Structure 1
């Protein structure tokens, strides 16, 4: 008997194990370093090297040979993995010197350095568990964080010293604070100088942040986890910057804005990017590392919010600034003050700068993410097929990853200077589903929509119950030209549903006006667009959708949208599964929430309009609330308070608490049975 899809999906971490990732190309383009597990169900990530001339792969580090206990992780590392949604183990991240001759990594809190040519990993003695080690550009030193202190060790001599030590238990040096990691995609808190003699270091003090307690009711003998959580309208961590020299010098780098979004230090400049708390102003400064004095390079403003784009600031060889900003309704690539992409091409991220060429991802069609280069004179497409692409570039050599509906899994190819393509194989398991996904547009707003039908269904032969399966929130998409994103939807379709996935207003890829339609209201546009998409699809498939049996399921914002749907539109939605839903935006974090809804003290009516509590008395459809009790992102209080409001209103509902489960639900048995329980609930609820 073959293994069920829910079991296989859980065991393979949603088919991500065995997929190559984390690429670093040597400056001469001769070698590609990357991460990959050794099979599609092996959770231990190894470090590999590909010789681009001989096409030979070499295993550099297998954590099993280092006798490290992968479960023995320091709390800070567990938090970092939760923020980065990392579900595998082993060498899940690494850093190299500029020449890519050495690499460093943390394994079970211990520090390792490996000479890539020989492949021998050496453990370095440290005074505590290691977080986020990074080699100096010249490879002579490795910096790391332990116990909130930033330390530096000489790789050869083993001499180890603290450059900054926390003044209290709420202070850390060199770590990204919660908001930066969760909402700004900044996972680091220090940056080496290109000269290898100093570092730019963040000091974060969480003392002003509210103390919350994440308890485990299933184990009352265990103390609750104490967490500093910056809920909307409350204080953030106080962040500061210092240039710390290896000679013991310490130079403050003052800035007045609430948020440090990112920093970069290359041969042209030490740059920092800051943002005001209302997120309507972003400033780029260059900093004199000797004095800490900063010079404003550019300021971007927007009446709604300014978007944070990964990969910038950067510089070409001649010192020209590489930047991304919104103009004329689109997200555009800038070289200095000149936009070099049209407003119809929505730039997603800058992936690499190789001398005078910029590799970036962008969308014309929102269901596609293509690769482009700017070579100083013109725009050139890198990817030529339909799909979702990402990549790296260095020394004239590129690494391209490709996903599409036409092919299974993730394809990775190294493209050499002469155009020769060298594949890096994926060991991922095959899902074993016969995919039947159709991408299109639906509704009055021409929304990007996917319709997923059972492989066995003959179109027009019968009407199927409908399952809406959205995320629906801003800055995230579910409708993309890639198979992996629809695997769970196809499995639900095989159980007898017509599954509809729609990206409404707020989602990226269609320009700033579409994204900013959710300003001051996270509820109404999101729900209207799901109804609009459903009606549009029903017109396109008049004999295949049974609109008397419509369910909706989702996780996180999708869970919020699912609960919202049955509360406010029971005439359309007949059952819902709401996983880890945000139910009251005052309980969610500052940066994300205030970006869209403003400050709750200044606009309380906006928060009321987007909250679910006032609608509790309206529930008349089956609702299943699912929440991990160890969730430190959308805390379980969201579900528990909504359940209390429903109970007070006398409204019947179901709650499934997941003991010890975080926002990611990585546990294999939980992930498997969660799908089965949702299916059972939906079938019973729809009769």
Structure 2
């Protein structure tokens, strides 16, 4: 493609007409790391607040180190541990410190279980002596130091163990763990996926007690996946997976007393879900968040290990659902910070230890999107919000009394912060649509940038050679709302020509794809398509996030209704623009986005010429309890909401080109969704294309898999759009 442009020479005003041949993006470049960005790996702020540590790897020597750096100079102070000095440990992938930072846990030989969970061999490394100690001879989960660093609790085969690092003795504190039946101290599949945690045990502040959740999944229906592998006969992976309306694991909360070696059950009045447990600053008081099956009524319960009494200190309800977060923070007096959408937007609240509201700390028609912590020395709370526009993120500080709010980030785009332990510094991660990730050291008092740590300027120069157009942000008025959108046009865009349009969306509850940040690898694919004459657009419709609870929750009990209406209407509006060919509009998406693209080509068969659905939900009855029922209630209660919005029930409406893609080892959105969709399409005598990736999970990656998938999708678009 030839591109003509004018180069303005700033000081002379001389303009010269030049011709440039821009490089063409290839799929191989997208997926071989050509456009990858640099970052900071496994960052830990040291407890002194003046230094931080980073996991580094020397690619030439293949040496792994944990190095300590000074915040004020950003210079390396020392190497805390190196594989060169470790006998029998040639590689480790993560590390955690004991509370006093005298010891570390090093993770080796890690293998994934599900999305967040891992099994591995772990070693304790004593920094002063340089000696290591293996925690167990077999692979374990979630090893965690006691507060004094002298013990490590971990889970092995669904039971909890405690290893005394001084004596080397290991004690088993639960004895009923059994695969696909009883789990102690580790979340079951659906909790891990939808409540986003794995470790379901916690030490108290003095190390005298461990609280843990027990999952009895005996009556949860079992799901089986074939693993084809390379052997003569496939194997099977079996795990408990509660689909919408089916039985969940029965959960109960226990506290183990290390001194008395006794276990007490915490009375929680038949809790349906226990999505969070956390000890308060009082070593005798445990907090637990308890939520009902509909997830619209939450209790914060305090349990006293001395008198064995439970008390509900906070009760919150919602007409739709309550989101679970990790924002609960206990202050020195055991008052606590909490975030809630109860005024219509997600904001920060301060409660007394008895649950009485002291004040709402933040307020306004905008959302708090991340809570970073509380600095007791200055009385300030640090958080991230969209106060500067729903597609932007900024870092703020505010007094606990709700006064003296201060914006600490200065660049418009997406800012996030990692604070030093004493809140004197923060490392700001910044990017926007034109700037790849940039990490800077900032003064937490006023946000002033002190020094740059990492930039991706080399990538900027590399990308310039391709002559890529900008991603244009705007809004589109659809169904009574101004919806955020972006659009990428060919670099040589001619408003008098008509272009085919590919729409991309995810659309899930509370999600966001239209954000002022550096693009993902998918963006390079969109740029590649733009180089080949396509326009690509994305619209965040109703139900997406960061515009208030009412906007997000209007899809309650009707997933796939309003979101689909918005995408169809947006496509119609795009088709009215003189430069878009209304007869050549396509849509694609992955997971929830695949559910959406499937619905769009069926219910919008007069608008969309083609659709691609990767790993789609095709019927919400096939998906898990926690996610689906949060937004839909159960199928028994809301049959029409499930059935009228599931694409599997609308296959007879298919007119355009449709590509279905799935991995057979998808433990999240099961390949059952695609197989049932295929059968429905066949019986409706509808022609379509599909691709199955053996033994690939929900991410469909590994080796050449992504390259193959995106080649297939690109060819499908070229053929049908």
What is the distance in 1 between the residues matched to 2:56 and 2:413?
22
Note closer, same or farther for the CA distance 1:45–1:461 as it changes in structure 2 (3 Å cut): farther
Q: CA deviation at 1:237?
A: 1.5
Which position in structure 1 is the counterpart of 2:537? 500
What is the distance in 1 between the residues matched to 2:682 and 2:609?
20
Q: Deviations over 1:12-42 (max 9, x none)?
A: 49836x4224433223212223446667x99
**Pick aligned residue for 1:425 from 447, 454, 457:** 454
CA contact (8 A) 2:158 2:178 kept: no
Q: CA deviation at 1:509?
A: 0.4
What is the distance in 1 between the residues matched to 2:165 and 2:469?
51
Query: What secondary structure sits across from 2:565 in the alignment?
Result: helix
CA contact (8 A) 1:124 1:158 kept: no
Q: CA deviation at 1:391?
A: 2.0
CA contact (8 A) 2:385 2:394 kept: yes
Which position in structure 1 is the counterpart of 2:211? 200
Query: What secondary structure sits across from 2:644 in the alignment?
Result: helix
What is the distance in 2 between the residues matched to 1:621 and 1:187?
43
What is the distance in 1 between the residues matched to 2:228 and 2:473?
44
Q: TM-score, normalised by structure 1?
A: 0.89
**Pick aligned residue for 2:52 from 32, 43, 56:** 32
1:95-110 equivalent positions in 2, closer than 5 A: 95-108=96-109, 109-110=120-121
CA contact (8 A) 1:19 1:428 kept: no
Query: What secondary structure sits across from 2:551 in the alignment?
Result: helix
**Pick aligned residue for 2:344 from 306, 309, 329:** 329
Which position in structure 2 is the counterpart of 1:172? 183
Query: What secondary structure sits across from 2:704 in the alignment?
Result: helix
Q: Does 1:91 align with 2:96?
A: no
Q: Deviations over 1:617-667 (max 9, x none)?
A: 111111110000000000000001000000011000111000111012231
Which position in structure 2 is the counterpart of 1:214? 225
Q: CA deviation at 1:439?
A: 1.1
Q: Does 1:511 align with 2:522?
A: no
CA contact (8 A) 2:543 2:553 kept: yes
**Pick aligned residue for 1:615 from 650, 665, 669:** 650
What is the distance in 1 between the residues matched to 2:89 and 2:706?
26
Which position in structure 1 is the counterpart of 2:324? 308
Query: What secondary structure sits across from 1:446 in the alignment?
Result: strand
Moved more, 479-488 or 462-471: 479-488
Q: CA deviation at 1:530?
A: 1.3
Q: CA deviation at 1:505?
A: 1.2
Query: What secondary structure sits across from 1:200 in the alignment?
Result: strand
What is the distance in 2 between the residues matched to 1:226 and 1:428?
47
Q: CA deviation at 1:166?
A: 3.0
Q: Does 1:236 align with 2:248?
A: yes
- Stretches of structure 2 lacking an aligned partner (at least 5 in a row): 1-21, 110-119, 352-356
What is the distance in 2 between the residues matched to 1:424 and 1:191?
35
Q: Does 1:251 align with 2:278?
A: no
What is the distance in 1 between the residues matched to 2:198 and 2:457?
26
1:138-149 equivalent positions in 2, closer than 5 A: 138-149=148-159
Which position in structure 2 is the counterpart of 1:638? 673
What is the distance in 2 between the residues matched to 1:191 and 1:429?
44
1:385-396 equivalent positions in 2, closer than 5 A: 385-393=411-419, 394-396=421-423
Which position in structure 2 is the counterpart of 1:437? 471
**Pick aligned residue for 2:279 from 240, 261, 265:** 265
1:254-653 equivalent positions in 2, closer than 5 A: 254-255=267-268, 256-268=270-282, 269-311=285-327, 313-336=328-351, 337=357, 338-355=359-376, 356-364=379-387, 365-377=389-401, 378=403, 379-393=405-419, 394-396=421-423, 397-413=425-441, 415=443, 419=448, 421-425=450-454, 430=459, 432=463, 434=468, 436-444=470-478, 445-454=481-490, 456-485=491-520, 486-537=523-574, 542-653=577-688
Query: What secondary structure sits across from 1:215 in the alignment?
Result: strand
Q: CA deviation at 1:66?
A: 7.2
Query: What secondary structure sits across from 1:319 in the alignment?
Result: coil
What is the distance in 1 between the residues matched to 2:618 and 2:680?
11
Note closer, same or farther for the CA distance 1:389–1:181 as it changes in structure 2 (3 Å cut): farther
Q: TM-score, normalised by structure 2?
A: 0.85
Query: Which of structures 1 and 2 has the bigger CA Rg?
Result: 2
Note closer, same or farther for the CA distance 1:200–1:435 as it changes in structure 2 (3 Å cut): farther
Moved more, 670-679 or 267-276: 267-276
Q: Deviations over 1:451-510 (max 9, x none)?
A: 1123x2234152221110100111221111111243443333233221111111111100
What is the distance in 2 between the residues matched to 1:623 and 1:420?
50
Query: What secondary structure sits across from 1:626 in the alignment?
Result: strand
Q: CA deviation at 1:322?
A: 0.3
What is the distance in 2 between the residues matched to 1:63 and 1:629?
38
CA contact (8 A) 1:449 1:533 kept: no
What is the distance in 1 between the residues matched to 2:687 and 2:470?
36
Q: Which has the higher contact order (CA 8 A, sep 6+)?
A: 1
Q: CA deviation at 1:52?
A: 1.7
Note closer, same or farther for the CA distance 1:658–1:44 as it changes in structure 2 (3 Å cut): farther
Note closer, same or farther for the CA distance 1:582–1:382 as it changes in structure 2 (3 Å cut): same
What is the distance in 1 between the residues matched to 2:83 and 2:485?
42
Query: What secondary structure sits across from 2:247 in the alignment?
Result: coil
CA contact (8 A) 1:466 1:499 kept: yes
Q: Deviations over 1:213-255 (max 9, x none)?
A: 1113575612211121110001112222111232223121122
Note closer, same or farther for the CA distance 1:299–1:37 as it changes in structure 2 (3 Å cut): farther
Which position in structure 2 is the counterpart of 1:55? 74
What is the distance in 1 between the residues matched to 2:554 and 2:58?
45
Which position in structure 1 is the counterpart of 2:13? none
What is the distance in 2 between the residues matched to 1:14 and 1:242?
49
Q: Does 1:160 align with 2:186?
A: no
Q: Pairwise CA RMSD of aligned residues?
A: 2.9
CA contact (8 A) 1:12 1:429 kept: no
- Stretches of structure 1 lacking an aligned partner (at least 5 in a row): 71-89
Q: CA deviation at 1:428?
A: 11
Note closer, same or farther for the CA distance 1:582–1:134 as it changes in structure 2 (3 Å cut): same
Which position in structure 1 is the counterpart of 2:27? 6
CA contact (8 A) 2:370 2:385 kept: yes
Note closer, same or farther for the CA distance 1:673–1:239 as it changes in structure 2 (3 Å cut): same
CA contact (8 A) 1:550 1:572 kept: yes
Query: What secondary structure sits across from 1:514 in the alignment?
Result: helix
CA contact (8 A) 1:315 1:353 kept: no
What is the distance in 2 between the residues matched to 1:139 and 1:429?
43
Which position in structure 1 is the counterpart of 2:18? none
Which position in structure 1 is the counterpart of 2:12? none
CA contact (8 A) 1:405 1:481 kept: yes
Q: Does 1:23 align with 2:43?
A: yes
